[in-house]
Structure 1
Amino acid sequence: MLRAWRTVDDELWGAAEALHEPLAPGLGLASSGPSATDAKAAFFGLCHVHSIALARRRYCALGASHAADLAASLGVAARALSWTQVPAAVWWSDLRRNAGAAAFGSHFGNVWDKRLHVALLEAYVHEALPDGQQVSRRLEFLELPSRDAYTRHIEASPSDDIPSDLGLLPRAQSALEESRADELLRFGAAVMSTSRVGLGPFGRSGRRSCSGTAAAETVEAVRLVLDKVRDALPHATTVRPKALQRRLRTDLSPLEADLSPLEVVLMQECDRMEALVTEVHASLARLDESMRGGAPVDEGADTLVGALQRGLVPASWTELAWPSAGPQPLGRWLLGLYARRAHLEEWAAQGVPPTVTWLGGLFRPQAFVFALLAETSRRTGTPLESLSAVAEVTGYDSAEQVGAPPEHGVYVHGAALEGANWDASAGKLAEAPSGGRCATRLPVMHIRALEAVTTADTIAAAPYGVYASPVYATGPASGAERRGEELPLTAWLPSEAPPSLWVVSGAAVRLDGECDWQRRATQQPGKSDEELGFLLTSH
């Protein structure tokens, strides 16, 4: 805040002091145009919004915002001081709109960032900013005689920022600390792995890194993990439904074979699963051959060994896999692989999506949403570009409670809520407690098509008492500034509180890629207790 306030130079402050003061405000009499108090409140509010936007950036996706040109914003405010014939309410509204556009106009990444900034401006830049109003836990607005007095006032306030000062939930701080700790642990594990031996007596640098006994122990440990992973993997066979394969001959494209959009998505998901499992088997086979001395040790094999030593998923596997936030523990990832294959096999056997689709279990969930819109366009004749997808919470707490698919659209599960809490008994958003997890699971959701051209149209179409939330493929990765890829989907979540509360708190829906992994894996036939024991204990 102090750095932002120092942007208010002598010229700006002089323009504010040159203005008149309200005449007999207690009697409701006032001069036209803004007063000196209005100008000071506007400068103070704009600086406060700017400082909040910058401070929220370190909270990654929970505080998603962008840097702005504060000088341009204050310049607009200074020019607005000459609007002497404008009523006060209109003056403040125009100031928020024009100053916001000047400061953030070229910085908005999407409609969600714009909505957040508008909410911050409405909270801190308005005419009802009386003397002594607390704008945060550590700062209040005072009518002071000089710019230096404001500077001293800001300097005397606590300099530490906590999430509640920025409009975020208190547990956002624990999420940030966990992210930093996780990043530090991963860095330490990476450093330790580089000091260990590779497949032979020499490490990556070509220098002897440990004794022959230690090298043998390392190779034996890697071989043990390799054998367990290979035993736990599903077979590298196609899961494509045979009925669709007969229709999709080698000389036909999916369009020529007259496959529906969802059938095309199913085939693509099956192909991606087959490619991933094939690559995992092939890379482990190459590593096994190298460890037996039948093939030279290349960089790929050495990288694979390093990942297996740390219990992480190799990069060559994650490149072909589903969306994820950062490196994944090997055992948990293998559970996800097996569960996703089982989900695809269920879909392929039925020929239509399951009664409740595990949206977070797909390789490309955004393709599934687009396919749903395409099928709606085919059925209704509505142009595809005029449709958007919305997701609404149902009364089903779990997929097992759903007996039949909806007449239109699909049921999905595996969604989590960040930045807010879900009151299951009331079926509404609620403020989250100070502690606890930073994400809570949502009930089964119903995705359907809506006639809306843009995301802004979908937000505007939300019924009264409903918060329109973005939906992301994953949660924030360690050190990332954004969540995962945004889906072409808007979630409508009932709320008694005004939507601006959830906008500022960063409430958003993300797909939960870990949904019911253990239950799904343990219920599948053909897996021995030893194999499942490795999967369930290695994460």
Structure 2
Amino acid sequence: MMTLRNFLDEQDFIPWPALVYVTGMINYGGRVTDDLDRRLLMSILAKYYNPDVLDDSYKLTPSGVYRVPQEGDLSLYQEYIRGLPITDTPDIFGMHDNATLQFEMQESKKVVDVVLSIQPQVSSAGGGKTSEEIVADLAKEIEEKMPRILDRENASKEKDPFAITESGMANSLGTVLGQEMDRFNKLILVVRKSLKDIQMAIQGTIVMSGDLDLMFTRMLNNQVPALWERYAYPSLKPLAGWVKDFLERVEFMDRWLCDGEPNSFWLSGLFFPQGFLTGALQNHARKTQIAIDRLNFGFNMSSVTDVAELGGQPENGIYIHGLYLVCAQFDLEKKMLIESSPGSMFAELPVIHFEPVENYNPPTENYECPLYKTSVRAGVLSTTGQSTNYVLNMSIPIHPDTDPDFWILQGTAGLCALDD
């Protein structure tokens, strides 16, 4: 502290940028491994480390409840502190009022999950179905909906996704399709076998193993069996929503295989969207003879919400649909981010043109919106130092009355999949 004080005393004026850098990038930022977390840290500091805090009219929150109190004696500061709300409101962190509702929903879900985990599994005494009958019927219903294995023999003859391109190179997106098919086929086989086993275990024809017993409990509680999660993509959906989503993903892959590349790709339907985006860049690099390490995606926001309205594929890059926004909405007319409506937890994004650009530099007036696979956002750190749940940043226009820091503090992000 004395070192910092001496540093300030030596200056003719307060070096605000230097203070922000030392505090955010060295003292605290050195302990932060995620660049997006460091960006948030810098945005928070910017609210307090700026010349405006010396002005008596400066407010730390739009409501004016939180502010820098005027200079005075101890009793003045005590009176100001006593007047603060007992519970901090979201605006002190720069967040929308919806954050309170989101927090309460998360806490309620935790309570429900605990109650479900400790409730006794007793047989029905009132003429209803027993637990065994409920799970057996559910397993049979899901088994009847199980899709066929994705077979390369069913690939389109006219629009073969695995065909060699005009440049004489393999289609990178075809390679991605093959890898995704292998992952989905493994998951289909695991789900199909476990559904047969759980029905046989309930009937007593095979031993109820530990995995099957856990599967029984989770199916009874409308939760995805851990046995499936080991082979599945990241998802926070309950069992009913997971099955519906799983069938839609396999259907998308089957259409891609049998009908050729779609006009717009459902990025959320993939196991590994990062690999798919790299494949799209690789195709463009081979087409234009530009080194792939010099290419990045630019983002052209459209007002199209129905992929059927697309006339075809773009000349360069790919169309992406099926993404969502949290902590913000997208104005289709003005094609920019706007604040969330009260009670609106998420909003759909329109079709986005991911266009490869050489030496791309995102516009500084745009918001670099991170895209995650699920709302948890966190994940295992990869070799790049980024979360495995993170996909990429999308550069999205924002309202001219706001700046990127506003959306950073709001926690605005894109999601591939919702929780339900």
Q: What TM-score comes out, normalization by structure 1 length? A: 0.68
* Aligned 8 A contact 1:360 1:513 in 2: no
Counterparts of 1:119-518 in structure 2, within 5 Å, are 119-129=43-53, 130-136=55-61, 137-145=64-72, 150=77, 153-192=80-119, 195-196=120-121, 217-235=130-148, 237-240=149-152, 242=154, 259-325=170-236, 328-352=237-261, 354-433=262-341, 435-452=342-359, 461-463=361-363, 465-476=365-376, 485-496=389-400, 497-512=402-417
* SS of match in other structure, 1:412: strand
* Aligned 8 A contact 1:392 1:447 in 2: yes
Distance in 2, matches of 1:78 and 1:382, equals 52
Distance in 2, matches of 1:215 and 1:301, equals 24
Change in 2 beyond 3 A, CA 1:108/1:412: same
Counterparts of 1:23-172 in structure 2, within 5 Å, are 77-85=4-12, 87-88=13-14, 91-129=15-53, 130-136=55-61, 137-145=64-72, 150=77, 153-172=80-99
One-letter identity of the residue aligned with 1:510: L
* Aligned 8 A contact 1:261 1:372 in 2: yes
Give the Å deviation of 1:152: 5.8
Cα deviations across residues 87-127 of structure 1 (Å, max 9, x unaligned)?
Answer: 44xx1221222222233222333332222222222222112
Distance in 1, matches of 2:79 and 2:344, equals 39
* Aligned 8 A contact 1:389 1:488 in 2: no
Give the Å deviation of 1:277: 0.9
Give the Å deviation of 1:75: 6.0
Identity of aligned residues (%): 23
Which residues of structure 2 form unaligned runs of 5+?
Answer: 163-167, 381-385
Distance in 1, matches of 2:49 and 2:161, equals 60
Distance in 2, matches of 1:495 and 1:133, equals 23
* Aligned 8 A contact 1:491 1:509 in 2: no
Aligned residues: 403
* SS of match in other structure, 2:397: strand
* Aligned 8 A contact 2:155 2:259 in 1: no
* SS of match in other structure, 1:429: strand
* Aligned 8 A contact 2:338 2:398 in 1: no
Cα deviations across residues 480-518 of structure 1 (Å, max 9, x unaligned)?
Answer: 9x997110343333432222211221111111368xxxx
* Aligned 8 A contact 1:466 1:493 in 2: yes
Give the Å deviation of 1:228: 1.2
Distance in 1, matches of 2:131 and 2:88, equals 46
Distance in 2, matches of 1:216 and 1:324, equals 29
Q: What TM-score comes out, normalization by structure 2 length? A: 0.86
Distance in 1, matches of 2:26 and 2:347, equals 37
* Aligned 8 A contact 2:336 2:396 in 1: no
Q: Which has the larger radius of gyration?
A: 1
* Aligned 8 A contact 2:375 2:418 in 1: no
One-letter identity of the residue aligned with 1:131: D
* Aligned 8 A contact 1:234 1:338 in 2: yes
One-letter identity of the residue aligned with 2:176: V
Give the Å deviation of 1:444: 0.5
One-letter identity of the residue aligned with 2:405: S
One-letter identity of the residue aligned with 1:491: S
Which residues of structure 1 form unaligned runs of 5+?
Answer: 1-73, 198-209, 250-256, 453-457, 515-538
Distance in 2, matches of 1:158 and 1:96, equals 28
Distance in 2, matches of 1:398 and 1:302, equals 43
